[in-house]
Structure 1
Amino acid sequence: MSKIHIYIDGTWLFNQCGRDRTLSQYVESENFYIDFIRLDQAIKDKIELLSGTKVESGGGRWYYTSIIKGIPENDVDGSSLEWMRNRSHAIEQTVKSAEIAGYDITGAFEVPFKFWMPKQIQSKLFQEKMVDTSVVARMVLSSTQYQDDFHVLISGDLDMMPAISLVVPEYLDKVVLCCTDPAQWDPNLQQTSKRLTDYSFQYGPIYMDEMVGEIMQGHVYQCQHPKCGIFFSRSRPIPKSQKSYCREHLITRPVRN
């Protein structure tokens, strides 16, 4: 039985979970919080559905990202960098969550602060190439070693695909891309002219937009207000005798006859 190996571009995934980004737009809170164990299960379910075969967990799982260290109180212009320190802390917490779920986090690189970084991050142009090259290197090594298994790349950065396709000629047979719907992509942030349609994957891609409710942390619900439908989570379960409404519509929920 084939196994599943998962390679997460944590820099890309973290950005999709941020305020007003792709995944957070479907939920009640400002940010989207992933449950990595649920993510693994959702991916397994999707691959079994796409391939029509049973697969098993137990393959390698890696999480790659960069954590900026040594961030000063203020930028060179005197503006506060508290937002950047908070961001770095949030990345560290995400890495810990992935580690608790069993991911290898040796690819979570600590990067020293540079004064050009804040503007690059705010303009969404910041890239840590060490993450990209490490993901590609690990994926090429594992997909060559375990050719009968499925290899899931969680990323919307198509910069990696040319290198993977060059080194692993049969990459389309068992490589599955897990990303967000291309309609959500900003072409200005893409560093390559390649598009998703340039790659004819045998299975997938898997769109994370379609499994938001499956991979959230906490007790997850979908608002039952007829004009809503967003997902939300609570630390405690809502009694089965009650309908689930998000905070916005809890007051304006339809009146019972």
Structure 2
Amino acid sequence: GAIKVEVYHSGQLGDQKTALLAVMRGDLEMAGDGSPSWFADLGAMPEFGVFEAAYVFKDLDHMYRVMTSKMVQEMFDKLAQKTGLRVLDVWYLGTRQLNLVEKVGPVRRPEDLKGVKLRMPNNKTFLDMGRALGATPTPMAFGEVYMALKTGTIDGQDNPLPTDLSAKFVEVTKYIVLTDHQIGMICPVINEKLWKSMPEEYRVYIKKAMEVARAYMNYTVLEQEAKLLKLFVQQYNMEIIIPDKAAFMENAKKYYSQPEFDKAWGPGMYEKIQNM
């Protein structure tokens, strides 16, 4: 065919940040794992950070209602003009849960996370999310997390359940705490200059392929999430904790009420999105 896609997985071309910067420069044509927090950091567009704040979305339908809205589409256009990153689609990555080592003990409320070193991606949005949950966020590249959990450099991490399995975090941790604190997404991106240079026919093909990939990704993640807790208990001897989610939500609301977030995201944006 006229469009040939070569896939480099598992960080072969560098971590998330490296890949996205390469797409911005035009050294790399596409990347599969853009996200609002990286758009906020790398694109100097802090207003994107709100979409990965703790508890900003109620569920998957709410997330898609917001991310396909006119407001967000206009933000994506501005991102493309400013940075060269054209967002092609939004895929469901899974709902983030806390995943902790045995020495931490059962966590049920935000105060139980006091002093707990929780790994976070090294960008402001995620470091703020760690604090909003009550933990001490520790920035770390994804590829370093398994060994850091094993050696005790960190006390835990947060990811969707399928990621906990595929990255083998379940081998070196004890607890899954069902906080449901983030409806996670990834945003495939393409270099804007390349995108604009393509014939319209090619752009249509790529968008259609993205829709097919989204359907597959979303179905696969939801199917795995429904099955994995049982596997984690039976095969990995993990403990599943049902926390006081209302307490975590209240803690996050209080954290995000600080003036810096209104300044970065726009006045009242956290509540506005919660109510969309």
Normalising by the residue count of structure 2, what TM-score does the alignment of the two structures yield? 0.32
The higher radius of gyration belongs to 1
Query: Which protein, 1 or 2, shows the higher relative CO under an 8 Å CA cutoff with sep ≥ 6?
Result: 2
Q: Which has the larger helix fraction?
A: 2
